Structure 1
Amino acid sequence: MARALIFDMDGILIDSMPHHVKTINRVFGAVGIHLDEQTIYDMEGSRTVDIVTHILKRKNIDPGSLDIEGLLAQYQEEFKRTASFRPFEQIRAILPELKEHFLISMVSGADRTIVNHIVDDFFPGIFDAVISGEDVIKGKPEPEPFLKASRMLEVNPRECIVVENATKGVEAAKRAGMYCVAVPTYVSPDKLEGADRIFEDHGKLAQYLLSLK
């Protein structure tokens, strides 16, 4: 029986990935580097630093030749300043009701300042545990972020249901031994085939989550 629901942030709670892509490319474009949009979507769920490092290596660019830390700090500030967030209301609306029956956590690969900003603005008082990309050593697709959430919630991984929309996130959830449901927000459904259940949109996902009570 499920005791905890663990939500990804980008693409599940907030429609924000297009803003991430634009901001990353604006910052790295200033130093002459374009990061492929679809690759960023395919790697969604991973820590931002891991996404950037992976793409640079694919372009045969040595990450050590750039001030990655400085560029990512600039990206964080630029993102917070310019991004226009839109919560997925079908999910946000049911969170208070779900909180009456389950422990609720957020596990994101995004940077801590961005995660805190979104939680404070849109989901105050909802989450019993929040994990950002900077709170783990190995981000998704490694299981560490989800396992850390289960420890913070003091529940067995088998008692957790993960709600994801990214290939790396689904892989991480299953490697953590958790049940995983998914919705294809930014990728095609076939890329989420590792999930236990896939819902075509956030409305049907919300109906399912409410049925778990």
Structure 2
Amino acid sequence: MSEPILAALWDLDGTLLDTEAIYLQVENETIRKYGGKGDVSTVAHKLLGTPGLDCAKFIVGHFCLDTSPEQYLATRDGVLVDKFTSTYFCEGALELVKLFASYGIRQSIATSSGKFLTQQKLSAHKSIVDTYIDYVICREDVTYGKPFPDIFLLAAKKMGVIPRNCVVLEDAPNGIIAAKRAGMRCVGVRNGLLTPEHYRDADWIVDSLQKWEAEDLLKRQSVVQSKPFE
């Protein structure tokens, strides 16, 4: 029998909240502001799940922008702040949060975003976070971000759950790598900008969380756990 799932660790952008389109729009606007040409979606596979300053360094270099990574990031985040005050859950995400809770599974958010932007994104959903989420772990909370496993390991430690009893929900290749390095199972939620190859290491690959048959898995787990020892 595989180890039971006792905790779920949520990536934030593109997995729990539908923020990716906002990021793409603002990134492209900021790139043009500093004299760049092209579409950031062409390099999305290098950016998803990557900390902000690392993204900025890559974008400034790739698009040959007339600014520093720090200034690029400050300009971009200044626009994002207003847009993130109204965010929506990804398809199937809120339903899965509630399903996990009904089975007594603890939940935390583990995101590459900084604390300030994370607070902005979650501000419209405070009641959900307060009810269902134990901890919100952000980029500043660890020394190394994804694809290093630190952020997931810290979340598991705070919840008092060992890694093999955790499942990670992720849409980014870096996040999937981090989850597997942490010794956790992972659900890879397909991003339309990426290829199936980017998700090859995930334990489950789905087009949306609505299509992951989580309840069947949790029911089987509950049945096994309720059996008496022989």
Do both share a fold (TM > 0.5)?
A: yes
Amino acid at match of 2:149: P
**Corresponding position: 1:196 with 2:203:** yes
**Corresponding position: 1:40 with 2:41:** no
3-state secondary structure, aligned to 1:141: coil
Contact 2:36 2:63 in 1 (8 A): no
Contact 1:3 1:159 in 2 (8 A): yes
**Corresponding position: 1:53 with 2:57:** yes
In structure 1, C-alpha distance between the alignment counterparts of 2:6 and 2:18, rounded to whole Å: 26
Distance 1:5 1:72, change over 3 A: same
Unaligned regions of 5+ residues in structure 2, if any?
220-230
Amino acid at match of 1:74: T
Superposed CA RMSD: 2.3
Amino acid at match of 2:96: I
**Corresponding position: 1:79 with 2:84:** no
Contact 2:45 2:173 in 1 (8 A): no
Corresponding residue of 1:18: 21
**Count, aligned residues:** 209
3-state secondary structure, aligned to 1:161: strand
Deviation at 1:95, TM superposition (A): 1.4
Q: TM-score, normalised by structure 1?
A: 0.86
Q: TM-score, normalised by structure 2?
A: 0.80
Higher Cα Rg, which structure: 2
In structure 1, C-alpha distance between the alignment counterparts of 2:59 and 2:149, rounded to whole Å: 22
Amino acid at match of 1:48: G
Which one of 106, 128, 142 corresponds to residue 136 of structure 1? 142
In structure 1, C-alpha distance between the alignment counterparts of 2:18 and 2:83, rounded to whole Å: 14
In structure 1, C-alpha distance between the alignment counterparts of 2:23 and 2:155, rounded to whole Å: 24
In structure 1, C-alpha distance between the alignment counterparts of 2:81 and 2:118, rounded to whole Å: 10
| Aligned sequence identity (%) | 26
Q: Deviations over 1:93-122 (max 9, x none)?
A: 231341241110111112222211222312
Corresponding residue of 1:181: 187
Deviation at 1:172, TM superposition (A): 0.8
**Corresponding position: 1:4 with 2:7:** yes
